[in-house]
Structure 1
Amino acid sequence: MGFEALIKKTIIEAFEEAMQKILSKMEFKFYRNVMNVKEAADYLNVSEKWLRLNLDSIPHFEMAGHKFNREDLDKYRLDKTGRSFRVVRK
């Protein structure tokens, strides 16, 4: 491998590594209403375990893991009378 090829390979590897770091920090930050499991659990004031155990009743979608829309979670938190409630753990 020549010197120019070695430099080119090193630059490409460094660029790809830097882009991976940037993209991992930007994950879903463009979509402020989209939350991952940890963020949704904090938003609902429940544990991540409780959230995962109750996924069948909580609105979510799957895209590289479970994702939650803030507006859907707000609707989920409203009971039939339209009053907001907090999830209470026993």
Structure 2
Amino acid sequence: MLFLVISTPRPERPTTLIDMRSRYWDWMQPLLDKGLCRSVHARVGRGAVALFDVDDTATLHRFMNEWADIIPAHMDVYPLLDVDAAKAFLNSQTRTEV
């Protein structure tokens, strides 16, 4: 299951979070190595965007809580379809003439 997670950290001075931000990247690396996170990008200014590929929402929930323990943030979550699933869905639809 694919989920796009966009974080918006609390408005604190970035220089006060240097250690936490370093811990975040250290935490994220094993998820990238295992393919549980397909990609992660820092947002301009503050925050991050991550594309998780997990088996269930419980795993995503655990990752989001671990993330928030490192850097408290608001997170927007978007469930996604991969390209093949989106095309299969489209092909399964029938068009009705009006």
Which has the higher Rg, Structure 1 or Structure 2?
A: 1
Give the TM-score normalised by the residue count of structure 1: 0.29
Where is the strand percentage greater, Structure 1 or Structure 2? 2
- Highest RCO, 1 vs 2 (Cα 8 Å, sep ≥ 6): 2
| TM-score (structure 2 length as normaliser) | 0.27
Larger proportion of helix:
1
